[in-house]
A and B are shown apart, each in its own frame.
Chain A
Amino acid sequence: AQKITQTQPGMFVQEKEAVTLDCTYDTSDPSYGLFWYKQPSSGEMIFLIYQGSYDQQNATEGRYSLNFQKARKSANLVISASQLGDSAMYFCAMRDRMDSSYKLIFGSGTRLLVRP
Chain B
Amino acid sequence: NAGVTQTPKFQVLKTGQSMTLQCAQDMNHEYMSWYRQDPGMGLRLIHYSVGAGITDQGEVPNGYNVSRSTTEDFPLRLLSAAPSQTSVYFCASSSPGSSTQETQYFGPGTRLLVL
Residues of A within 8 A of B (CB): 4, 33, 35, 37, 43-47, 50, 52, 55, 91, 93, 95, 97, 100-109
Contact = CB atoms under 8 A, between A and B. Distances in A.
A37 B59 CA distance: 20
12 contacts: A44-B107, A45-B109, A47-B103, A95-B102, A101-B45, A101-B56, A102-B31, A102-B33, A102-B102, A103-B58, A106-B43, A108-B41
Residue among A52, A104, A106, A107 with most chain B CB within 10 A: A104
Contacts, number: 69
Interface of B: 31, 33, 35, 40-45, 48, 50, 56, 58-59, 88, 90, 92, 94, 96, 99, 102-109, 111
Contacts of A95: 102
Contacts of A93: 42-43
Given A102-B48, A104-B43, A44 B96 contact: no
B103 A91 contact: no
Contacts of B31: 102
